[in-house]
Amino acid sequence: MRVIAETTGMRWVCVAKVTADKWTLCAVHDGLALGLVPGDCLAIEDTFCDQVRKTNKGVVIDSVSDNPAYLEHPITKMFGFQSYFSLPVYRADGTFFGTLCGLDHKTVRVSDPKILDMIGLFAEILSSLIDADVQLRDAENALQAERETVDLREQFIAVLGHDIRNPLSSIMSGAEILATRSQNEGTLDVARRIKRSAARIATLIDDVMDFARSKLGGGLPVSARAAIDLGAALGHVVAELRDAYPQCVIASRVDIRDPVFCDSARISQLLSNLLANAIVHGRDGAQITVDVFGMNGGVTPLRGELRASDPARDCGAPLPALPARPREPGTRRVGLGPLHCIRDRKVT
């Protein structure tokens, strides 16, 4: 607006959105202190812009005093200007948006072809800027809607994971009762399978809840302490997965003699996810070896190794690499279980 004002000599220049019933100021360079600010509206009949909207032709007045058609016009009397121009501004698709207007109390020869061409060029530039602004706002609105959808989805996952625990507890209790009250081997086998499946579902629920907490920004709760039962907990994880996947050969060595300062439940969850993924994504027939051992004395650091090997040759073989997932700059990688951890032959 300032450049147009300095080039034309007009001290008041604006862009306005024009509809059939309203004129709305969008941007203004006010060198005449008229007091209009962006957002102000005028009745459409109080402007020449309605004529521009209807005819798609600009209105240009060099001097009201020398133009009988505008000398007694109500609009020129209302604003008291001598020189005026109003040119149409279109959206990129060709629809009418509004006008580029200018006025001054002094006489300015706006009808000069060079000046009109320059103002017309600015009107075309404004058309591109307006369309880009509309596209940006549409993109921002779509992004906001998508964020709200994601938040709702994560909240739903969290609520679902929480509510599933009640019927799952009933299933596990029923399986336990069935196992204690029956002496039939077939029934006991069914009860054991139900308990294994329920335990697996409970693990999946824990993963889903962790995933939801991470996505909602709450982070994963960690309760670190000097765990004296970590070896037993990890051994239980291996035993559970042996029961769940009887066709797989899982060799393990868990040698933890001293307390380990950690969250025993989280370390168990990590091993469960890694081992389950090795079983699911590993080569059929490959033996899976799990080695976990403590180092030094006292409250000790922990080292672990997960290896897929060929029993015939007893040598390590790479686990199939999972496809890399793109990550936005500055964000953390969060997944449903550490699937992305299985990349190489060893996970330490």
Measured distance CA(333)–CA(326) in Å, rounded: 9
Q: What is the pLDDT of residue 331?
A: 35
- What SS3 state is found at 169? helix
Pairing state of beta strands 96-104 and 250-255? unpaired
Q: CA torsion angle for 279, 284, 286, 289 (degrees, to 10)?
A: 0
- What ranges in the chain are assigned the alpha helix state H? 2-8, 49-55, 68-71, 74-79, 113-181, 185-215, 230-244, 264-281
The CA–CA distances, whole Å, from 253 to 194, 279, 282, 308, 309 equal 28, 17, 20, 14, 15
List of residues 6+ apart from 25 with CB closer than 8 A: 14, 15, 16, 36, 37, 38, 39, 40, 41, 42
Task: Kindly report, residue by residue over 138-196, the tens digit of the pLDDT.
Answer: 888 888 888 888 777 777 777 777 777 778 888 888 888 888 888 888 888 888 888 87
Task: Kindly report, residue by residue over 109-118, the tens digit of the pLDDT.
Answer: 888 888 888 8
At 29, the pLDDT band (50, 70, 90 cuts) reads very high
DSSP states along 107-119 = ---TT-HHHHHHH
Q: What is the pLDDT of residue 25?
A: 92
pTM score: 0.43
Q: Looking at the DSSP assignment, which residues form a beta bridge with residue 260?
A: 227
Task: Kindly report, residue by residue over 325-342, the tens digit of the pLDDT.
Answer: 444 444 333 333 333 333
DSSP states along 33-64 = -----TT-EEEGGGSSHHHHHHH---EEES-G
Estimate to the nearest angstrom the gap between the alpha carbon of 196 and the chain centroid.
Answer: 37
At 198, the pLDDT band (50, 70, 90 cuts) reads confident
Give the DSSP letter of residue 189.
H
DSSP states along 316-344 = E-PPPPPPPPP--TT-----SSSGGG--S
Task: Kindly report, residue by residue over 99-151, the tens digit of the pLDDT.
Answer: 999 999 998 888 888 888 888 888 888 877 877 777 788 888 888 888 888 77
- CA nearest neighbour of 62 among 3, 116, 126: 116
- What's the half-sphere exposure (Cβ side, CA atoms, 13 Å) at 190? 10
List of residues 6+ apart from 17 with CB closer than 8 A: 23, 24, 26, 97, 98
CB count, 10 Å around CB of 214? 16
Rounded to an integer, the average pLDDT of 198-225 is 72
Measured distance CA(125)–CA(176) in Å, rounded: 75
Q: What is the pLDDT of residue 309?
A: 54
Q: What is the pLDDT of residue 9?
A: 86
Pairing state of beta strands 260-262 and 302-310? unpaired
- CA nearest neighbour of 100 among 67, 76, 125: 125
Q: What is the pLDDT of residue 213?
A: 67
Give the DSSP letter of residue 300.
-
Measured distance CA(246)–CA(344) in Å, rounded: 25
